[in-house]
Structure formats: structure tokens, C-alpha cells
């Protein structure tokens, strides 16, 4: 509805300016001072504009202003061109001229195609988005899947608003966690490889991590041996470094395969092993400048009590770095590589405190861009009790989960005898699995904790990814069958589309650009997810109420097809924003 709303805002602002002039007030009302609301009841109109904000300036009561505005709109003819207006108390309520709006909306979508719904409000801004950022001792798990799709989706939404986006990932490839996998492998796995064991390479590394935990339960000295490996690594012991390289390569290779599967990608990877020394250097510099202090045991700290935070250790007593140390170095490298206007960290809510401290430390170090760092914190995700056995009993492996969903989708395809119709069943089932997963994860606001219910996520008739995919496939198949014949015999006249179901659908389509804008402002893909569901429901109702092929006239048929095509376009664009694969057949 963006364009239509803009027209009305402009017209009302002009009317208010004129009213002021008539009363000897030389103030101009700008378009953006006019607020557009949706009236509480549909019979009151499609749009409602409150007059309260102008009472002081015009020295009149809001109801009086509403009356005067209406008189003016009638005089200049706005009301006949774009809809009818009515004063209702302090509001100017507008009933839109359906045929004018229908024509405007359908033709702009068909003309603009995939560029429809790109508000361009962020043109020229450079936004870096960090997400996923795994450790290299384990494969990705369910929590990463939520992180990954949030990061990817937010990047796409911001890009749709015109921002330049750089997607980055930090691989935490250094530290005690990876040394634990290395130790177990060193002691029990010599000669074994992912190939020899027939397992995905990140899982191979993860299995040694699990093995380490068993070892340390039986023999407490295992912890000390892992620490010893870390010391050797820090000293650059060739054999240790070689093993570390090998294990990391396996881990990263495997993780990248999972990204490929879910359609997630990065413009640049950062590795902790390459940034932590920079962090250390910065901390020592800060120490010299008196920003930080040294404890008696030799460790280096920052005191943030004056800022409402706490004291925090930045370097251990033996001089080794911590998790936060590498983040200091990483942020500095990133800003150097690509001077961003904003850097968004998509990281779980359990790290809120960490990021508060990190941002303050960077600010203290004098980096003025530190104020443009933002932690997009998201909640936990779990499976309901007893839904799927996880390998370690605690976390759910990402690949296992997708395999599981895919298997269920395949079964559904077979049960419905759709194997032949869909062609490559395997690939369709994989896309259904990813769509189900992504939609379910994004439909909840990022900050909320949630449960992922695999069966529910796959339901074909509910608020799910597969339901949206099914809607897309249904419209595609209808257009494949009918476009040629009907478009030839009839003329597209969107102004004919004024029936109740058609009007509801057109209003939904018109709201797409502002929905994308809202999702970007709030950095919340659930706004798009909710929109997609509304759009599908509105289409369903239209499809049910309005015959297309058997419409009363050929023009009406062609126009309804054009409307369906516009719906397909918007559905597809919005699905892309929330990372749900589109399917032509299902």
C-alpha cells in the first residue's frame, strides 16, 4: 500500500498547509508528519489519519480540523480520484477507490517483478552481518540452524532495502576445545580418516571430542594432557600444528557442506587463529595507556564498574588469550577490511554480557565505530522431549535433523503418489525439509526461546513452510496450464478486481513493501513469515471464491490470472527473504 499511502499523506499534508495559510499561519506541514493508521473496524474505512498532531499549530480542535480537511479534499478533487473521505471525530477516514488501487498494485508488481517491495531506505549503507560462527570441535547443531537462518534472512532483508551487505563468519579454531579432539585422536585414532570411517568430516572430529569426554571421566589426567597440547600449539610445535591443521580442515569442510545444504553463504571467513594475536596486542597497548590494569598474578583486566558492568579479565596470568581477546582483534580487522557503518552480531542471548563488555572495551581503545556494533541476540531452541535422539544426549545434530525431515517428506510424497509428478523426489524432499525447518525457526521472534517440532513443521496445511511451497506450486501449475489461452482471449483490466476476496488480496499485496521495511527496521524475519501466511490465506480465499477459468468474461479471467501472477511474484520474493526454497511442482 506504500504508494497509495504516500499519495494520501501528500494530499493531506497539502490540505493542512493550505488550512494554515487561510488562517494566517505560515507553517508548512510535511508529508512525513502525517501518520496513517488502519481503522479498528473495516466499515470505518481502509485508512485513518489522526488530526491531533496539528491541533496546536492550527489552534483548532481535531474534529474541526478533520471537517476542514475534508472540505478541501473535495474541492480539489482528491477524494473522487483516490477514494472517499469522511470525518469521524478527530480522524479523517479514507475508503480507497478499489479499482484505482487494484490497477496500481497489480500493474506495479507485474512491471517491477522481483524489484517490487524493495524500499531502498538503506541505499549507501554498508552493513556487516556476522552469524553462525562455529567452534571447530563439533558439527553444527539445532541452535546453529536458528542462528544461520536468522543471519542469512536478515542479510537478505537488509539488502532488499538497498543496503550493501557483507556476510561474515568467525571460525573459533583455536583453544582447548579443539585440543581435546586432537588428544583423543592422537591417542586412539592414528591412521583413521573420515573416509576410512565413512563419516562426514565434521562429525569425525566431533566423535573424537565425545571420546575425549569418556577418556577424561576414566582418567582425570586427560585434561592436563589437552592443556599440554594447547601449550605446544601456542609455541608452534610442528607436529601439533600439523595435526591441528588437519582436524580443522576436516571440521570446516564438513560445516561448509551443511551451509551448502541450507543455502547459507558467507562473503568472508575469519579464523580466530589469525586474529587472536591482534587482540592480545591491543590489550597490551591499552594496558600501557592505562585503560586496563594488571593484577598481582599477572593477568590483565578492564574495570567497567563505572559503566554499570563488572571487572573482566582480558589476558590470563600466563599471557594467553581468552574468548574476548580474539573478538577484539577480529572486530578491528573487519573494520579495516571493509569499513562498515554497522556490524550486527547474530549470537545467542547467553552471550549478552560478553558483547556489552566487548563493545565497551573497543570504545575505550578509541575506536569510534564501536558505537555501531550491535548484538542481535536470539533465544534457545530445543526439541520437545523424546522427539529425536541426539548422539550425545544433549544437542541435536543439524545434518541428522535435516535428514530426518527429508525422510518424512519423502514418505509423504510416496504416500500421496506424487513421485512421478515431482520428478526428482530426493531433491524436492530436501527442499521441503529446508523450507519446513527455516519457516518454523523464523516464525518466532528472534528473542524468544522455542521448541522445534519436526512433525508440525512439515504439515502441508497449517502455518508452515511446506504450505507456502504448496501454494507457490499450485499457482505455478495453474499459470502453466492457463496463461496462454486466457491471456490471448481476454484483456487484463485489474480495475475489475473489486470483489471482497480480490480486494482483501490486493490490499495484502500492497502492504508488501512496508512489511519488508518493518522487518528491516526491527531486524525480525518473523514479520515476513507472518506476512507470507496472510498472503497465502488471502490467495486461498480468492481461489475458492472467484472462478478463474470460468469467470463471467474473458477480461475478468485474464485479470484474475494477472492477479495470481502478481501473488506468485510477491510470494516468491518473500520466500527468498526467509530462505524457503521455491518449488514449481510439489
Kindly tell me which of 212 and 345 has the beta carbon lying closer to ligand ARG: 345
Is residue 2 within the footprint of ligand ARG (CB under 6 A)? no
SS (H, E, C) 89-151: CCEEEEEECHHHHHHHHHHHHHHHHHHCCCCCCCCCCEEEEECCCCECCCCCEHHHHHHHHHH
CB of 194 to ligand ARG, least distance (A): 22
564 binds ligand ARG (CB under 6 A): no
Task: Give the shortest CB-192-to-ligand ARG separation in angstroms.
Answer: 26
Does 133 bind ligand ARG (CB under 6 A)? Our answer is yes
Q: Measured from the CB atom, is 82 or 378 closer to ligand ARG?
A: 378
Q: Which residues pair with 96 in a beta bridge?
A: 83
Q: How far is the CB of 357 from ligand ARG (least distance, A)?
A: 11
Half-sphere exposure of 499 (CA within 13 A, CB side): 15
Between strands 91-96 and 47-50, the pairing is antiparallel
Q: Which of the ranges 11-19, 132-140, 295-303, 449-457 carries the binding residues for ligand ARG, by CB under 6 A?
A: 132-140
Q: Is the CB of 120 or the CB of 447 nearer to ligand ARG?
A: 447
Grid cell in block for residue 400? 541428522
CB of 354 to ligand ARG, least distance (A): 7
Site for ligand ARG in 240-279 (CB under 6 A): none
148: contact with ligand ARG by CB under 6 A = no
- At residue 87, the 3 state secondary structure works out as strand
Closer residue to ligand ARG in complex, CB, 132/559: 132
The residue range among 61-69, 98-106, 130-138, 480-488 that interacts with ligand ARG, by the rule CB under 6 A, is: 130-138
Cα–Cα distances in angstroms (integers) from residue 112 to residues 355, 388, 572, 574, in the given order: 41, 45, 14, 15
d(C-alpha 19, C-alpha 398), whole Å? 63
Q: Compute CA distances 504 → 187, 385, 494, 561, whole Å.
A: 67, 41, 14, 16
Q: Which is nearer to ligand ARG, 347 or 528 (CB)?
A: 347
Taking the complex as a whole, the smallest distance from the CB of residue 500 to ligand ARG amounts, in Å, to 50
As measured in angstroms, the least distance from the Cβ of 324 to ligand ARG is 8
By CB under 6 A, which span of 127-135, 229-237, 371-379, 478-486 interacts with ligand ARG? 127-135
172 makes contact with ligand ARG (CB under 6 A): yes
Where do we find the cell 485508512?
A: 47
Q: How far is the CB of 235 from ligand ARG (least distance, A)?
A: 24
Question: Does residue 292 interact with ligand ARG by CB under 6 A?
Answer: no
Which of 113-121, 131-139, 186-194, 277-285 is the region at the interface with ligand ARG (rule: CB under 6 A)? 131-139
What is the full DSSP assignment across 418-440?
Answer: -HHHHS-HHHHHHHHHHHHHHHH
Which CB contacts under 8 angstroms, 24+ apart, belong to 367-370? 367/331, 367/332, 367/335, 369/335, 369/339, 369/340, 369/343, 370/331
- Please report how close the Cβ of residue 326 comes to ligand ARG at its closest, in angstroms: 8
Least distance CB 255 / ligand ARG (angstroms) = 11
Residue 170 CB, shortest distance to ligand ARG, in Å, is 5
Among 122, 347, 505, 578, binds ligand ARG (CB under 6 A): 347
CB-CB contact of 222 with 186 (8 Å) = no
Q: Which of 133/153 has CB closer to ligand ARG?
A: 133
Q: Would you state the cell numbers that stand for residue 81, as one nine-digit string?
A: 480520484
Distance (Å, whole) CA 525 – CA 160: 12
Least distance (Å) between residue 133 CB and ligand ARG: 4
Cell of 210: 565425545
In the complex, the smallest distance separating the C-beta of residue 348 from ligand ARG, rounded to whole angstroms, is 7
- With CB under 6 A as the contact rule, the residue among 73, 87, 165, 170 that binds ligand ARG is 170
345 contacts ligand ARG (rule: CB under 6 A): yes
Q: Hey, which residues does 374 pair with through a beta bridge?
A: 344
- Alpha-carbon gap, residue 379 to 377, rounded angstroms: 7
The rounded distance, in Å, linking the Cα atoms of 180 and 186 is 10
Nearer to ligand ARG, 147 or 443 (CB): 147
Q: Which residue lies nearer to ligand ARG by CB, 96 or 362?
A: 362
Identify which of 444, 454, 459, 468 has the alpha carbon closest to the alpha carbon of residue 380: 444
Q: Binding ligand ARG by CB under 6 A: which of 152, 173, 327, 524?
A: 327
Q: Does 73 bind ligand ARG (CB under 6 A)?
A: no
- Any idea of the CA torsion for 141, 142, 146, 149, to the nearest 10 degrees? 60
Q: How far is the CB of 189 from ligand ARG (least distance, A)?
A: 24
Please work out the total of residues on this chain that contact ligand ARG, with binding judged by CB under 6 A.
9
Closest residue (Cβ) to ligand ARG? 133
- Name the grid cell of 386: 523424546
Choice between 337 and 424, CB closer to ligand ARG: 337
| CA angle (366 as vertex; 363, 368 as ends), nearest 5 | 70
- Which part of the chain contacts ligand ARG (CB under 6 A), choosing from 54-62, 128-136, 439-447, 458-466? 128-136
135 binds ligand ARG (CB under 6 A): yes
As beta bridge partners, residue 377 has 347
- According to the 3-state scheme, what is the secondary structure of 445-509? CCCCCEECCHHHHHCCCCCCHHHHHHHHHHHHHHHHHHHHHHHHHCCCCHHHCCCHHHHHHHHHH
Binding flag, residue 344, ligand ARG (CB under 6 A) = no
- Fill in the DSSP letter of residue 416: T
Q: Which is nearer to ligand ARG, 134 or 525 (CB)?
A: 134
User: Which residues of this protein are in contact with ligand ARG, per CB under 6 A?
Assistant: 130, 133-135, 170, 172, 327, 345, 347
Amino acid at each position: 500500500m506504500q504508494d497509495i499511502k504516500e499519495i494520501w499523506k501528500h494530499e493531506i499534508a497539502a490540505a493542512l498547509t493550505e488550512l494554515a495559510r487561510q488562517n494566517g499561519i505560515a507553517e508548512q506541514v510535511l508529508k512525513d508528519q502525517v501518520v496513517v493508521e488502519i481503522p479498528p473496524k473495516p466499515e470505518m474505512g481502509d485508512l485513518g489519519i489522526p488530526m491531533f498532531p496539528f491541533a496546536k499549530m492550527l489552534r483548532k480542535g481535531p474534529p474541526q480540523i478533520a471537517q476542514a480537511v475534508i472540505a478541501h479534499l473535495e474541492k480539489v478533487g482528491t477524494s473522487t480520484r483516490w477514494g472517499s473521505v469522511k470525518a469521524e471525530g478527530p480522524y479523517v477516514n479514507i475508503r480507497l477507490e478499489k479499482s484505482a488501487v487494484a490497477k496500481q498494485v497489480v500493474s506495479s508488481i507485474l512491471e517491477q517483478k522481483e524489484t517490487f517491495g524493495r524500499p531502498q531506505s538503506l541505499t549507501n549503507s554498508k552493513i556487516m552481518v556476522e552469524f553462525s560462527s562455529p567452534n571447530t570441535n563439533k558439527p553444527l547443531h539445532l541452535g546453529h540452524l536458528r542462528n544461520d537462518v536468522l543471519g542469512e534472512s536478515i542479510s537478505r532483508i537488509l539488502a532488499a532495502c538497498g543496503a550493501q551487505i557483507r556476510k561474515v563468519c568467525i571460525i573459533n579454531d583455536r583453544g582447548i576445545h579443539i585440543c581435546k579432539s586432537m588428544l583423543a585422536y592422537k591417542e586412539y585414532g592414528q591412521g583413521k580418516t573420515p573416509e576410512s570411517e565413512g563419516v562426514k568430516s565434521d562429525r569425525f572430529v566431533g566423535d573424537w571430542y565425545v571420546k575425549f569426554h569418556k577418556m577424561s571421566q576414566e582418567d582425570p589426567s586427560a585434561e592436563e594432557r589437552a592443556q599440554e597440547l594447547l601449550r605446544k600449539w601456542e609455541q608452534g610445535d610442528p607436529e601439533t600444528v600439523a595435526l591441528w591443521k588437519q582436524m580443522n580442515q576436516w571440521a570446516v569442510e564438513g560445516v561448509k557442506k551443511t551451509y551448502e545444504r541450507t543455502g547459507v553463504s558467507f562473503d568472508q571467513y575469519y579464523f580466530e587463529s589469525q586474529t587472536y594475536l591482534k587482540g592480545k596486542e591491543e590489550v597490551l597497548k591499552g594496558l600501557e595507556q592505562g585503560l586496563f590494569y594488571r593484577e598481582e598474578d599477572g593477568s590483565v583486566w578492564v574495570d567497567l564498574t563505572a559503566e554499570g558492568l563488572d571487572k573482566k579479565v582480558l589476558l590470563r596470568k600466563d599471557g594467553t588469550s581468552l574468548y574476548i581477546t580474539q573478538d577484539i582483534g577480529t572486530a578491528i580487522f573487519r573494520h579495516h577490511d571493509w569499513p562498515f557503518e554497522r556490524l550486527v552480531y547474530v549470537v545467542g542471548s547467553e552471550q549478552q554480557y560478553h558483547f556489552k563488555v566487548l563493545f565497551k572495551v573497543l570504545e575505550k581503545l578509541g575506536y569510534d565505530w564501536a558505537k555501531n556494533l550491535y548484538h542481535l541476540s536470539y533465544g534457545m531452541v530445543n526439541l520437545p522431549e523424546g522427539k529425536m535422539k541426539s548422539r550425545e544426549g544433549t544437542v541435536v545434530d543439524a545434518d541428522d535433523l535435516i535428514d530426518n525431515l527429508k525422510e518424512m517428506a519423502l514418505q509423504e510424497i510416496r504416500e500421496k503418489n506424487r513421485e512421478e509428478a515431482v520428478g526428482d523426489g530426493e531433491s524436492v524432499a530436501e527442499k521441503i525439509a529446508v523450507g519446513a525447518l527455516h519457516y518454523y525457526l523464523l516464525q518466532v521472534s528472534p528473542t524468544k526461546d522455542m521448541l522445534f517440532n519436526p512433525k508440525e513443521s512439515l504439515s502441508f496445511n497449517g502455518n508452515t513452510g511446506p504450505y507456502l511451497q504448496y501454494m507457490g506450486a499450485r499457482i505455478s501449475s495453474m499459470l502453466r496450464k492457463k496463461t496462454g489461452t486466457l491471456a490471448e482471449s481476454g484483456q487484463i483490466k485489474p480495475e475489475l478486481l473489486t470483489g471482497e476476496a480480490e480486494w482483501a488480496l490486493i490490499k495484502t499485496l500492497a502492504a508488501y513493501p512496508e512489511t519488508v521495511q518493518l522487518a528491516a527496521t526491527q531486524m525480525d524475519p518473523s514479520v515476513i513469515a507472518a506476512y507470507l501466511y496472510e498472503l497465502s490465506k488471502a490467495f486461498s480465499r480468492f481461489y475458492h471464491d472467484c472462478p478463474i477459468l470460468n469467470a463471467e468474461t474473458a477480461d475478468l479471467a485474464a485479470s484474475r490470472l494477472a492477479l495470481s501472477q502478481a501473488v506468485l511474484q510477491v510470494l516468491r520474493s518473500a520466500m527468498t527473504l526467509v530462505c524457503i526454497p521455491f518449488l514449481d511442482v510439489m
